[in-house]
Chains A and B, each alone.
Chain A
Amino acid sequence: MAAAGRAILTTVRNTGRALLMLFEAFFHMRSMFGKRMRHEVMNQMYIAGIKSLGVITVVGMFTGMILALQTGLELRRFGLQQNIGTAVAVSMLREMGPFMTALIIAASVGSAIAAQMGTMVVAEEIAALEIMSINPVRFLVMPRLVALMVMMPLLTVYTNMVGIFGGAVIGTTQLEVTMTAYFDNARLYVVNKDLYVGLLKAMVFGIVITTVACHQGFATREGAVGVGQATRRTVIISFLTILILGYIITRMFYTL
């Protein structure tokens, strides 16, 4: 009982600290337009965005292909396979696009951020910044936060496009649906709201990944072992938070 109480207290305390760090990073966003910070933000956008394109292409394409195949096989039993365009597009835009992108970015970029911050703590680089009166949140967290807030929606749009295209490939090659019919059908039932809610989720997930990764990295103790633990915790906490927040946002915008 006491251990459970301690665990809850620790979780609440860590969440509070992470949120304070996030608010501080938002506060420092006013300095992102300076020449030196702008360069750093662009650099982080390149690392988070461009360098993730390869894996996102593969995951997005196969997500769309799996969706089309699973849905299409069932729809074909009722002669409704023409509707897979809608099924894939709606699933990708509302859920799978932001969700799959967030998981990839949490596992690749989030873990890398946590490892970098953790190593900097262990190597006393964060302490060195503090002594030089350079705020680590402004110098390190803010550019990563801006980069992921911008890149996550863009990457999600890309994942959606690749996924919908993957669905089209399965539709035309295995379900006897023409490319024109697939895209006409996709356009029929997809509404702007699907895209906007998906992009909102993507931005929120970007904030979650940066906050969790930086907070876990800064909280690193005990050398190399601590860096490994921070990285592992970042991936686990990010995944769980993304799932829970994904549900909450869906529930907010899509009522039964």
Chain B
Amino acid sequence: MIRFEQVHKKFGRRTVLDDVNFEIKKSEIFIIVGLSGAGKSVSLKHMVRLLSPDAGKVWVGDDVVSEATGTELERIRARFGYLFQSGALLQWMSAGENVGLPLREHTRMGDEEIDRIAREKLKLVHLEEAYDRAPADLSGGMRKRVSLARAIVRNPEIVLYDEPTSGLDPLTSRTIDKLILETRNQLGVTSIVVTHDLHSALSIGDTIAMLHEGRMVELATPKQFIASKHPVVRSFLESQYITTRGEWEGNATP
């Protein structure tokens, strides 16, 4: 579905992606983990050509998105939904208007039909009541859920999640995890999730890739990932108190 072929990217003299190769299968939940600055969000932005590689190719199906422009790029982007870290909702529109915006811009649907679909998508993220509320009046978790409703309003094939649980309390984080699973199960979308949150990654991911200093150091199923012997992966797991058996290993006793 999505393929990175020898992708290199530099910002100034700093290498952000260094010969990155991976393939994401259809309907898979693919998780990219890593420390801050490892190149996770940069990888995500390459998938929709918000950034272009200095070398290598990014494929989406049969299209090379890294070389697409104009209407071809629009057609490829229409296959995607994107949940930004901040939500990226337009502040002067209500939650419902934000969700309906892609339909207003790209279809000939009437206002009533757009409203109906927007409410339907908000219901899917358990936020029907937020339809008329301004983004500024919503909590961080609610903003992300509205953003998810907007991301899926045109029934995309692929949804990209940039740090969906960052800055959220554990309960809201698990709600977002459930929504990612529900979205995949109900709509069959391919999901790519960038996160620091290993608990979330291990719970929902089909495949976990770890980026470190621009290089992919691990690509495995959650079980294999926990058992990985790679020192960077081990140190990352230990930083979140996760043992080789996938158990929490803190000081607290029940």
A residues adjacent to B (C-beta < 8 A): 36, 120, 123-125, 127-128, 130-134, 139
Contact = CB atoms under 8 A, between A and B. Distances in A.
B80 interface: yes
B102 A134 contact: yes
Given A125-B90, A127-B84, A132-B102, 6 more contacts: A123-B86, A124-B86, A124-B88, A128-B84, A132-B101, A133-B77
Contacts of A120: 90
Contacts of A130: 50, 77
A131 B86 CA distance: 15
The number of chain B residues touching the other chain, given as a range, is 20 to 34
Contacts of A133: 74, 77-78, 105-106
Contacts of A124: 84-86, 88
The 5 closest A-B pairs by CB, nearest first: A128-B88, A124-B88, A133-B74, A131-B82, A124-B84
Contact of A125 (B48, B50, B89): B89
A130 B102 CA distance: 11
9 contacts: A124-B86, A125-B89, A131-B80, A131-B82, A132-B101, A132-B102, A132-B105, A133-B105, A134-B102
**Central interface residue in A123, A128, A130, A134, by most chain B CB within 10 Å:** A128
B106 A127 contact: no
Interface of B: 45, 48, 50, 74, 77-78, 80, 82, 84-86, 88-91, 101-102, 104-106, 150
A123 B74 CA distance: 22
A252 to B, nearest CB: 38
Contacts of B105: 132-134, 139
B71 to A, nearest CB: 9
A226 to B, nearest CB: 15
A228 to B, nearest CB: 18
A125 B74 contact: no
A124 B90 CA distance: 10
Contact of A128 (B78, B82, B104): B82
